[in-house]
């Protein structure tokens, strides 16, 4: 019978765990950078949620994670950078016509939905809906 330590050791080497860890580190860094650049705690928090929750969830839900953990890192880094750029661009566009909180919320919703649409379009055959 495998011990709990062996089970944890196997799990932390899976693409899912590696992707989640990389996304979490990038989410915290992006939240800090966003708070410094835009002086908005709401925007920083939502950027952390987009990168730390939405990106790994989308990649896993649509079967986009590679088979190996080493190939997962560049994919997650790229997906996080794209999501963060889209999120900030949408915020900058929305803040011109709405308050800070509303602009951040709009940018969040549109970014998460756009990520899901792109993930769905890239879905691997045989991945459950």
Q: Flag residues of the chain having pLDDT under 70.
A: 1-2, 125-129
pLDDT of residue 111: 95
pLDDT of residue 6: 78
Are 51 and 84 within 8 A, CB to CB? yes
Q: Could you tell me the pTM of the whole model?
A: 0.86
Q: List the chain domain ranges.
A: 4-121
């Amino acid at each position: 019978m495998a011990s709990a330590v062996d089970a944890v050791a196997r799990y932390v080497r899976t693409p899912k765990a590696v992707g989640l860890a990389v996304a979490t580190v990038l989410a915290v860094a992006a939240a800090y950078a966003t708070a410094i650049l835009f002086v908005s705690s709401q925007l920083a928090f939502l950027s952390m949620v987009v990168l730390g929750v939405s990106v790994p969830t989308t990649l896993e839900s649509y079967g986009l994670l590679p088979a190996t953990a080493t190939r997962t890192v560049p994919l997650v880094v790229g997906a996080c950078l794209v999501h963060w750029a889209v999120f900030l661009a949408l915020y900058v566009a929305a803040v011109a016509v709405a308050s800070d909180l509303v602009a951040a919320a709009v940018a969040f919703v549109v970014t998460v939905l756009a990520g899901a649409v792109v993930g769905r379009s890239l879905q691997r055959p045989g991945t459950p809906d």
